[in-house]
Structures are given as structure tokens and as C-alpha cells.
Structure 1
Amino acid sequence: MMRALVLTGPGTAEVREVPEPVAAAGQVVVDVERAGVCGTDVELFTGEMSYLHTGVASYPLRPGHEWSGTVTATGPGVDESWLGRRVTGDTMIGCGRCRRCHGGRHHVCPERHELGIRDGLPGALAERLAFPAAYLHALPDGLDAVTGALVEPAGNAHRCVEAAALTAGERLLVLGTGTIGLLTAMLARGRGWEVHLLAEDPGFARSLGFDRTWRRGELPDLPWDAVVDASNSPVLPGLAVELVDPGRRVVYIGLAGSPSVIDTREVVLKDVTAVGILGASAGLAPAIAAFAAGTMDPRSLVAATVGLDEAAGVLAGRRPAGASAAPKILIDPAR
């Protein structure tokens, strides 16, 4: 048996003893070293997550999709060279048979698993994890477990930066200073873009060198070449369309707990391209490469690392004792 966090209903979670995973054909078993808590996990805990209402996710549920760990077992058909390697993995697990999977869009496969989010594949807020080897990503020797657990949000951020489609010297506005918003800003700064952020509290982003971080009433009247909404606000998606310069792009990665209203007349009359981002799949390898090259270090975004017994409190919104102002809480399941 092993310990794992189990969401048992809206607002309730507990650490349980569950059967140890066994590597089936095509799978590995990973000893989880770090797992991140993100907004999706919080929405699954509170019951707000839309998947709980559409029936693709249900309680009891074992969350956790931002993770790193070491491979300790391989199943039939898996190359044993994976053994002992530190890895992370793609959250989106496609069926491998449909036209979307064959077209390189496994992250929107209608029958996909989403690790720790949709039913079918228990997540990484546990001591060990069974995971399909085809979706593993090896971490270079220089990357520690903390950095490895930040690859998944950085992959999402990479996709946001690619979708914004700017060039050096152009101006990006990021709405929201959570983990993905700040990683997007870091990647954009590395490309020579002029990066601005909108925040409720600018202090932490400014401590990372983002001096152009503004509260809503302070936002300068500038032409924004692209806007990335990385917030959980139902209001900011509409504001993004209002703010972006005509003929440019708005990128949506944040999700609110209630529907947002966007004036499509403004989208049309400003000739705005709106791009939605679901999942990090195509951004995982570039994120690992950016971390390995040292062009950005995401570890400053970690506020605290706690044990599995404290995970339910984190999901309920409690900040661990001694946590910094950074947005990310990591779980060490071995604690």
C-alpha cells in the first residue's frame, strides 16, 4: 500500500492508503519527488471544475498533474533504460487511434485521459504513480526535482508565448501573476519583448524584475501588441479584447469558475485573433530545454514545499507557515 491524496467530494479531501501501482504493458512506475498544486486542482477540490459537471471527472478523484520523479519499474514493452531516470510527463494522454491523435492533436482527443483531472488515470499527489512511457519526458541531469515539477506549467507558458507571435521589441501584456502568468512573462522577457503585467498585488512580480507590473487603475494607455489572459477572472477575458491593438492576438490560458462574456463584435471589428490554450503538450520539450540552458530559473516561483498531509489544507486556501509571496506550493509525498 502507499499514501495518496483523495478528493472525496466538494471541499473534502483526505490522505488514504491505496494499492501500490503496478506497471502494466507500456507503463512505468515513478516514485514522485515533487508535485505542484495548481488552480485546476483547487477547482476539482471546490467542485467548481467544469469537468465535474460534464461527467468526465467524478469523485473520488486523485489529483496531481504537475510532477517530477524517478522511474523505479517498467512494464512489458517498455525500454528498461528508463529505470533510474528523473522524468516528468504529459498531462494529456490520447487514445492513439482517432484522427486528432493521428493529426498531432492528442491533447484534444475526445477519449483522452488527463492525469489527475479526468477519470481513468490517478494523479501524482501520491507516493508513486503509474504512467504511460510514451508520454514521458526525461529531465537532464542538471535539473532538480523542483524544476522538474515546474515543467508542466512552463510548457503551458511556452505555448502562450508562441501563440502571441510577437517579435523582439514588441509589447506584451499578461493579465494575472500566478505561476503560468509569471512563467509566460519570463519566457517573453527572454525573447526581448517589452513585458507588462496586470496584478492585484504587484509586489512579487516586481521583485522578479518586472517593474512594469500594474494594478488595474495604474495600467498605462499603450498599444498592446498581444495580451495573454492567465487569470481566473470572468471579467478579464473581455478586457483583453478591449485592450489589444487591432489586428493582433489575445491568448486565453486562464479559466474562471463562471462563464466569461466577450463582445464578438469587438473581436470582428478590431480583426483580433483569439487563441485558446489547453495543455502543455507541445511546450514540454521547449520548456525543459529553456530550463536546461539556464535562460530562466523557475524555482523563485515556489513559495513552500510541504508534505502530503498538508495538501488538503493548501487546496482549501491555507498558506503554509513560512511561505513566501510566490504563487506555487509544491508537495513532497515522501514527507
Structure 2
Amino acid sequence: MRAFVIRGPGDAGVEHVAPPVAGPGEVVVDVARAGVCGTDIEFFTGEMQYLHEGHAAFPMRIGHEWAGIVTAAGEGVDRSWIGRRVTGDTMLGCGVCGRCRDGRQHVCEFRTELGIRGGRHGALAENVSIPARALHELPDAVDDAMGAMVEPGGNALRAVRGAGIRPGDRALVLGAGTIGLLVAMFARAEGADVHIVGRSARSLDFARTLGFEYAVTADELPDHPWDAVIDASNDPALPARAVDLVEPGKRVVYVGLAGSPSLVDTRLIALKDVTTVGVLSASGGLKGTIDAYASGAVDPRPLIAAEVDLDHLAPVLSGIRPAGAGAGPKFHAVI
């Protein structure tokens, strides 16, 4: 089959590789489309921390935001999965440790991550294998484009849940990339008054096209009390700013990751009685995201700037926007 392979920093392309086989407890999926995210770009540039910690190594096959159809089932798998449209969890725990038994497989010490960690091949390929326990069926109301947006949406939904947002709350989202915009969409669906902080005029202009009137730079931020602040940025200065901005007794959620450590004054967290929440993965938010997409409460498709094939994926990872691309932050490979 054809698969997108990163051979080393800046060196990637389509290769012909052996197709996956459904092992015990696994299925094989014919991939319809898969998204590209910041993690994939960090692997392409060689900056991704897992490469330096030994959790990943070149050559590697990326892709963890995907949708497709199950075409084969291994031993012990209900064969009714075959022919169903699905997406799936990225975080694949060992299934037997205390964390996995407690429902925290996404932080399992022995986990693999699809297209990211532990040599588990990703979905930027014609086929991918995945444990059946990680599958989520897609209803007809969730098309393939939306299906490949379930994983980033799950991160965003978990961030909104972690913020404890209620109707009428004033919520501040730091970051106007894919996750930040999805956070804003889910927060709006919960009835919040959402403000977005971004850096570039293009990203802020795009946010306004999505109906977020209050999309501003950090310097333009109004002096309001914020019932929730969600940091979906990669700016190492913003985690501390989030604690400064949030109302006492309220919540700050960290779902973005900077390339260098961020410093936060824990004295201020204590003195303001602020609850801080970290979000690592989409795992606990996948079903809720599918339901929100299916109901129309959230539609992620405007975020997709362009669709490319696998042969034209490397330039996208290097930062080149395809001709005719829209203003959104997300790119999809149609397999």
C-alpha cells in the first residue's frame, strides 16, 4: 500500500509498504482522509520531544486524525465492525495496568500512540490497523471531513468540560489555531460569551468569519472578569497570563504546549483559589464530539483550508499553503 513516511527531518514522501494485518483484537481500516496537526509538523522538522526522549524514531508513519471504513477484523473482534465508518482513539494503553483499569489509558506508561509514539503506524496511508476497543462509529450525519476532525475536537471538548463553563459565562480562549477555534466553538455551544486572543491578523480575521466578534491580540484584550481561561496556544508566556486574567475561584485549562517550559506563580494560583486543569488527549471527549458534530451544535468543517493527496503532503508540513487554500488552519489528506 501507499503510505506517507518521514525518513528524517525535512525528508518525507510516499513509499510502498506492506499493508497492515488485523492482529488479535484489531481491525484494519481503509482510510478515507486524515488531518495534519502541529505534532505532525514537529515530527517533520525533527523538533518533536518524543524523538529526543526515545518514544519515537525515524523512519515513522504519522497521522492520528482520521476517518475510514473497517475492512478486516482480527481474532476476537466482533465482525459486525466490518463495513462500518469509524474514527478512533490515538492513545492506546496496555489495557492491564492500574491506569488503564481506572479509565486513564491515555496516560498509561506503556501506551502507544497512533502515528506518534511507540512505533504504532499512523493513518496517513491507504490502510491503518487499530485495536477495536479504540473505535468510535460515525453516524451518517458526520461525514468523512468531520470524522477526521473528531480527534482535535475531543481535545477541545475536554478543555471546555475542564473549564466548567456554564451558560452566560465569559470565556477567554488563548490561541486562534485549530484547537483554540474548536474550543471556542464548543464553549459557544455551551452558551458562553467567547473572546479569542490570537497573534496574526489572518487568524483573527478568520475567527471573526466564524462568528467570534471579539477576536483580538493580547494588547487589545478588554479589562473584563473571565469565568474561564483556556490556553490553547504555544506561547510560553501565556500560562502565567492565564492565571492573572481568570476570576478568583474560577478555572484555567491548559491544552496547548509551548516548545519551552512555562513558568507559573503557584502563589497566585493559591491566593486566587484558582483551579488549574491539564488536558493531554481527546480520549474522554471523542463520543461527545461525535454527538456535537452529528447534532449540528458544532461544525468543524470551515476550519479545513485545503485537501491534498499524499503526494503533495510534504510541502504542507514544511509550511507551504497549497494554491487556492482557504484561510482556515487545518489541512486534510484525502487518501
Q: Do these two structures clear the TM 0.5 threshold for a shared fold by scoring above it?
A: yes
Maintained 8 Å contact 2:6/2:44: yes
TM-score under structure 2 length normalisation: 0.97
Q: 1:298 aligns with which of 280, 293, 300?
A: 300
SS state at 2:146 partner: helix
Q: State yes or no: 1:17 paired with 2:16.
A: yes
The one-letter amino acid paired with 1:114 is E
Rounded to whole Å, the distance in 2 between the matches of 1:81 and 1:51 is 36
Equivalences for residues 265-276 of structure 1 within 5 A: 265-276=267-278
Q: Alpha-carbon deviation of 1:45?
A: 1.4
Match of 2:317 in 1: 315
Maintained 8 Å contact 2:60/2:119: no
Q: State yes or no: 1:166 paired with 2:165.
A: yes
Match of 1:146 in 2: 145
The one-letter amino acid paired with 1:279 is S
Maintained 8 Å contact 1:26/1:76: yes
Rounded to whole Å, the distance in 2 between the matches of 1:7 and 1:119 is 15
Moved more, 3-12 or 185-194: 3-12
The one-letter amino acid paired with 2:243 is V
Match of 2:68 in 1: 69
Q: Deviations over 1:156-186 (max 9, x none)?
A: 1110010000211111100011111111111
Q: Alpha-carbon deviation of 1:46?
A: 1.3
Q: Alpha-carbon deviation of 1:238?
A: 1.7
SS state at 1:48 partner: coil
Match of 1:80 in 2: 79
Q: Deviations over 1:276-314 (max 9, x none)?
A: 101101100000011111112111110000000111111
The one-letter amino acid paired with 2:328 is A
Q: State yes or no: 1:203 paired with 2:205.
A: yes
SS state at 1:226 partner: strand
Moved more, 58-67 or 230-239: 230-239
Match of 2:214 in 1: 212
TM-score under structure 1 length normalisation: 0.97
SS state at 2:34 partner: strand
The one-letter amino acid paired with 1:314 is V
The one-letter amino acid paired with 1:301 is L
Rounded to whole Å, the distance in 2 between the matches of 1:271 and 1:310 is 50
Q: State yes or no: 1:245 paired with 2:247.
A: yes
SS state at 2:142 partner: coil
The one-letter amino acid paired with 1:17 is H
Maintained 8 Å contact 1:28/1:133: yes
Match of 1:90 in 2: 89
Q: Alpha-carbon deviation of 1:120?
A: 2.7
Equivalences for residues 100-119 of structure 1 within 5 A: 100-119=99-118
Rounded to whole Å, the distance in 2 between the matches of 1:80 and 1:288 is 23
Q: Alpha-carbon deviation of 1:244?
A: 1.2
Q: Alpha-carbon deviation of 1:141?
A: 1.7
Match of 1:187 in 2: 186
SS state at 2:252 partner: strand
Maintained 8 Å contact 1:197/1:212: yes
Match of 1:328 in 2: 330
Rounded to whole Å, the distance in 2 between the matches of 1:41 and 1:242 is 32
Task: Give the CA RMSD over aligned residues.
Answer: 1.0
Rounded to whole Å, the distance in 1 between the matches of 2:319 and 2:234 is 15
Match of 1:56 in 2: 55
Q: Deviations over 1:244-265 (max 9, x none)?
A: 1122111011111222222222
Q: Deviations over 1:197-239 (max 9, x none)?
A: 0012210000010001111211001111111111111121121
Maintained 8 Å contact 1:107/1:281: yes
Rounded to whole Å, the distance in 2 between the matches of 1:23 and 1:289 is 28
Match of 2:135 in 1: 136
% identical aligned pairs: 61
Rounded to whole Å, the distance in 2 between the matches of 1:316 and 1:268 is 42
The one-letter amino acid paired with 1:29 is V
Rounded to whole Å, the distance in 2 between the matches of 1:249 and 1:47 is 34
Q: 1:254 aligns with which of 233, 253, 256?
A: 256
Q: Alpha-carbon deviation of 1:8?
A: 1.4
The one-letter amino acid paired with 2:249 is G
Maintained 8 Å contact 1:61/1:119: no
Maintained 8 Å contact 1:157/1:180: yes
Q: Alpha-carbon deviation of 1:140?
A: 0.4
Match of 1:225 in 2: 227
Q: Alpha-carbon deviation of 1:269?
A: 2.1
SS state at 2:323 partner: coil
SS state at 2:308 partner: strand
Match of 2:236 in 1: 234
The one-letter amino acid paired with 1:273 is T
The one-letter amino acid paired with 2:62 is P
Rounded to whole Å, the distance in 2 between the matches of 1:112 and 1:167 is 34
Number of equivalent positions: 332
Uncovered stretches (5+) of structure 1, i.e. residues with no partner: none
